[in-house]
Structure formats: C-alpha cells, structure tokens
Structure 1
Amino acid sequence: MDGQDSSKLCFPQLANSSCRGLMRPRWEAVLLYTLLSFITVITVVLNLLVVVSISHFRQLHSPTNVLLLSLAVSDLLVGLVVMPVELIRFIESCWLLGDLMCALSYIIGFTLTSASVGNMVLISIDRYVAICFPLQYPYKVTSSRAAASVSLCWACSLLYNGLILKEHLRQPDRHNSCYGECVVVISFISGSVDLVVTFIGPCSAIILLYMRVFVVAVSQARTMHLRITGTAQTVRVTAKKSEKKAARTLGVVIFVFLMTFFPYYFPSLLGQDISNSTSYWAVVSWLLYLNSCLNPLIYAFFYPWFRKAMWFIVTLKIREQNSCQANIL
C-alpha cells in the first residue's frame, strides 16, 4: 500500500502501458532544484562574462581568445540548453517531454560536451606553439586559422555524436519498457570508441602538450634570469616559482578533466554498456556537465585581463562610448 502511495503513473490515461515513477519527498525535490539551478545559473553567468569580454574588447581579439570564446560558447550552451533538461530528468520521476526531445537532448548534450573537450585540446596546442615556437607563432597561428579550427571542431563533434547516437535518433523509444521513459544505451563497442576519442585521446594530448610547455617554460625562465641577474641563487629561486606555477596550472587542468569525465567512462573500462537507466547515471552526467562550470574558472580566471573585463561589465562601464577600446591587458 505504501508503495502505491509513493508512486504515480506517468500517463494516467495510458494505465496499461504507462510507467510508474516514485515520487521524491517535497523537501528533497526543493533542495535538488535549488542546488542544481544554482549550478546552472553560475555556469551561464561565468561563460556569458567570458563571451561578452572577448567579443566586446578589441584588445582581446586574438587567435588564443578565439579558442577561449569557442570553449565559453559551448559551455554556455550546456548551461542554457542541457542543464535545465537534465535538471528535470534527474528530479522528476517521469519523462514528460516526448520522444523528439528525448532524442534531441542527448545529441545536443553530447555534441556540446565533445566540442568543449575539442576546444580544450586546441587551447593546449595553441599554448604549445606559443611557448615552444614563439618566433613562428604569429605566422603559424592566426585568427583565421583559429576560426577554421574551431569550425572543424564543431562540425566533427556534431558528425561524431550523430554516428554514435544514430540508432537512438532513428527510434528514441527503442529501449523504453513503458511510456514515460527516455532510455539511451550506448553499446560496449561504441562506448569503447567514445572512450578513446573523447577521453583517453584528448587527456593524453593535453598532458603531453602541457608537460612540454612546462619543460620549455622553465628552461626559458632559467635562461632569462641567468642573463639578467647572473647569479645562480636567483635562478634557482625563480625557477622553483615557475615550476610551482606551471605545475599547479597543469595539475588543475588534468585533475578537473579526470574528475568530471572519468566516472562517465568507467563502465566502458569495465566492458559494460553505458545506459542512462542506471542508478548512478544522474551523478555521473552532472559531474560531466560540471566541467562546463569549472572551465571558465580554469581558462579565464587565471588571466588578469578577465578580472579587468569583468569589472568593466559589472560596473556597467562597458556601456560608455569607446569602451571597446579600453586598455585591459
């Protein structure tokens, strides 16, 4: 009797084929809505600040910032489009948005996540060329090439995830057992390919590139300070500071990437299919999307210009005439 009271039919008019969902206590639903809505709003606000800053101030119109802008746009769309749907999916016991939204929600979410990961790899490549080949950087990396790389990244993300989820797109309800479900199952083969393409490959590239950047940056710091000071003691102190700063940045980048992506791909590592019907799926998916909230903190807040640009926006100085010409670097 208690089980009957704590559950409801998703579609009462389809009593024989409707799913029965367990209702959350009111306090639990309110708490989850508040917490996840806060994360969603923070994700949107932080990434919107990055988008406005880079788009508005002309000093920020550089190849590197084209990549940061693309990353912020993908993360902004995650906050605007994906997180609200996932919030409802997580808290409500039934899927009430229909088969079309069931299909679109996953293709959009996976495409934006893949684009975000691709943008992080492009940023790593940009930093590698800038540090390791400083004289050739202005000729090798231009705004037009950065824009072309970004466009290719987005196109590949859409095509790749379309192939991964093609069966789901053709028949969104193929894994549903009743009306009121939105079940997606990624086979072990597709999951293994996705594991390599979206996790192992990008993670390896980021680690290798940043390690190379770290080594070259420390070497350059030692050489520069050796010429300026001529004392071995100062070189050792400065080199240690450079090493600590580079290691800290590298550590944050890798830690956040692993923390947010590894739980999602854990079933693939165990040789299992990936399904959103599992009990831990909600936690895993929100960890994945949390990366979009943390990216602006890692890739933008570490830049001094972002704090200046944010101050211009928050204080509404951005509305002043010729504010786009402001010196914020």
Structure 2
Amino acid sequence: MELQVEVDLCFPLLSNSSCRKPKSALSEAALLRFLLFSFSVITVALNLLVIIAVSHFRQLHTPTNTLLLSLAVSDFLVGLLLMPGEILRNTACWLLGDLMCSLYNYVSYIITSTSVGDMVLISVDRYVAICDPLHYPSRVTERKVKVCVCLCWLCSALYNSGIVMSDLTHPGRFNSCHGECVIFVDSIIGTLDIVITFIAPVFVIVVLYMRVFVVAVSQARAMRSHVTAVTLQLSVATKKSELKAARTLGVLMLVFLSCFCPYYCVSLAGDELLSDSSASYSLFLFYLNSTLNPVIYAMFYPWFRKAVNLIVTLQILQPGSSEVSIH
C-alpha cells in the first residue's frame, strides 16, 4: 500500500510535501496533451515561415510587415514555450522547480500582452493607411514602426514585472506542495490588468476597425459615382483593394476576439471556473489564435504563399534570392 502511495506522488522522496499526480480522466488529459502538442508544432512551423519570409525578402521590408513580424515572433514563442509549458502544468507534475514556474508565468504574460499590443499597432497602421493615405508614407515609416515594436516589447516586460514581482522574488510561495505550478494574481490587480491589457486594447481595435470599414465602403461608393473610363477603372481597382483590406482586418479582428474573449471571461468569472476543465479549453482557444494568424496571412496575402513556396523549395539559399520579386 505504501508503494502505491509513492507511485501517485510527483516526488516520492518528499512524501510529506509532494503533490499527487494529476487525477484528471485519462482520455481528457490525453486529448488536451495531443491538441497542445500538435498545435505547438504547427504554430512554430507556420510562424517560423512568416519570420523567415519577412526577414529574408527585401521587398517585404515595409512598416506593415514589420508589425506582422513582431506578431509572428510572439506567436512563435507561444508555440515554442507556452503550449509545451501548459502540457507540463496542467496534465503532469511540474518538475522544473519553483523558479522556472515563476519565470514561465512571467514570460507568458509578456508574450500574450505583446501580442495584444501588436494587434493595436496593426490596427493603427491600417487606420492611417486607409483613412489618411496621403500622409501615410511620412507618418508611418519603417524606422518609427521598429521603435514602436521595441517599445511594445519593453513596456510589456516592465509592466508584467510589476504584476508578478512578488512571485519572482518569492518563487513557489503560492504552491501548496512540490510538483505544481500555480498562477496567482490578486483579484483587484487581476481585474485592473484585464482592463489594461484586454478591454481597453479591444475597444481601440474595434473603434479603429469600424472606422476603417466605414471609410473603405464610403470611398468605394464615391469612386462608383465617376463616369469616365479611366476613373471607372481606377474606382474598380481601388474598391477591390480597400474592401479587401477591410475584409482582412475584419477577419483578424473576429478571430482575435473569438480566441481571446472566452479566456478573459473565464478569468473574470472567478477561481471556481478556473479549476474546471472548460478553463483548459478556453486557454487552448486562447493559444489557438497564434496558430490561426499565419493561416489568415496565407488566405489573404499572395506574397506569403509565394514566399513559402520559395522557402520550402530552398530557393532562398540561392545567391540574390532576397531581391526576388514577391508581389
């Protein structure tokens, strides 16, 4: 009987303070583990293609693509670090120690809040491009965008260091036993954090996207009022371009909200739901956004499909491949 107890412990030598191995249903744990592992590999591979494409091909070095590159890096880290970390944290004993648990929590906050920040920057970029196209080249330069991206990552790191400072200075203080990795944030701080890192950014994104959509539709209608042949040809091209941009932004917005809202709703509901299996799947949906972003690029951006073809066929290894026309 004593042997059976030791088998059920994460650390048999620490029988008095060791956690027991997770007792979730075998099928549920296996399903969650399989989903996270599969999407982890897919997320890493797809976002790595985006990173290589935007970094390698000189024609893709634009302000908008710099923002997409930052988003791809954060999505890449989600697949590389956060999804495997959740496999360890939710379906098995945490064997990496309290300090690594605290660092994992800290890194997860940085990555997810930076992703939201990138979405805000992308919405601002598209807003200026469509609503004020004449001043876009002077207002949105590649240098300015790079500075904004660096500030986004830096501010995210500094802000979240304050959120998890007590956990970083006293690793494991909220763990009830050895072998678990608990994410604990004070309810007041947690609610304020959700407002700052989710509700406020989503409000900005929705307002900007709605404005972009209205302007795109109004410009398309205005173009249709011209009757000359040249103007008519221009109107058709402009209409298609602007409506396509509005559609792409709408898809990105809907996917982002669909993936992020369930997790934050569960977080706001209280701890009683966080221990439920629904919380695990809301977290999975939260991370799924990182997998879907490059899929959206493949659906709406021909340059991404052409770049992937050149990467997969190893043509990027040829001299001068960075100068190849992608558009």
TM class by shorter chain equals 0.7 to 0.9
Give the superposition deviation at 1:95.
1.4
One-letter code aligned to 1:42: I
Q: What CA distance in whole angstroms lies between the structure 2 residues aligned with 1:177 and 1:5?
A: 18
Give the superposition deviation at 1:320.
1.8
1:20-63 deviations in whole A, cap 9, x for unaligned?
A: 12456766655544332210111011111111111111101111
Three-state SS of the structure 2 residue aligned to 1:185 is coil
Q: Look up the match of 1:305.
A: 303
Equivalent positions of 1:102-113 (< 5 A) are 102-113=101-112
1:39-94 deviations in whole A, cap 9, x for unaligned?
A: 011101111111111111110111111111111111111111221111222221x2
- Kept in 2, the 8 Å contact 1:185–1:274? The answer is no
* Range 110-119 or range 297-306, more displaced: 297-306
- Kept in 1, the 8 Å contact 2:217–2:243? The answer is no
Q: What CA distance in whole angstroms lies between the structure 2 residues aligned with 1:259 and 1:176?
A: 32
Q: Look up the match of 2:18.
A: 18
Equivalent positions of 1:131-280 (< 5 A) are 131-227=130-226, 245=244, 248-267=247-266, 269-270=268-269, 272=270, 279-280=277-278
- Kept in 1, the 8 Å contact 2:59–2:326? The answer is yes
Q: 1:285 aligns with which of 283, 286, 293?
A: 283
Structure 1 unaligned segments of length 5 or more: list them. none
One-letter code aligned to 2:180: E
Structure 2 unaligned segments of length 5 or more: list them. none
Q: What is the TM-score normalised by the length of structure 2?
A: 0.88
- Kept in 2, the 8 Å contact 1:51–1:72? The answer is yes
Q: What CA distance in whole angstroms lies between the structure 1 residues aligned with 2:108 and 2:288?
A: 12
What is the aligned-residue RMSD (CA, Å)?
A: 3.0
Give the superposition deviation at 1:278.
5.2
One-letter code aligned to 2:20: R
Percent of aligned pairs with the same amino acid: 57
* Distance change in 2, residues 1:163/1:301 (3 Å): farther
Three-state SS of the structure 1 residue aligned to 2:291 is helix
- Kept in 2, the 8 Å contact 1:62–1:143? The answer is yes
Number of aligned residues: 323
* Distance change in 2, residues 1:251/1:298 (3 Å): same
- Kept in 2, the 8 Å contact 1:184–1:276? The answer is no
1:128-147 deviations in whole A, cap 9, x for unaligned?
A: 01111111111101111000
One-letter code aligned to 2:11: F
Q: What is the TM-score normalised by the length of structure 1?
A: 0.87
One-letter code aligned to 2:88: I
Give the superposition deviation at 1:276.
6.1
Q: What CA distance in whole angstroms lies between the structure 2 residues aligned with 1:34 and 1:278?
A: 19
- Kept in 2, the 8 Å contact 1:221–1:242? The answer is no
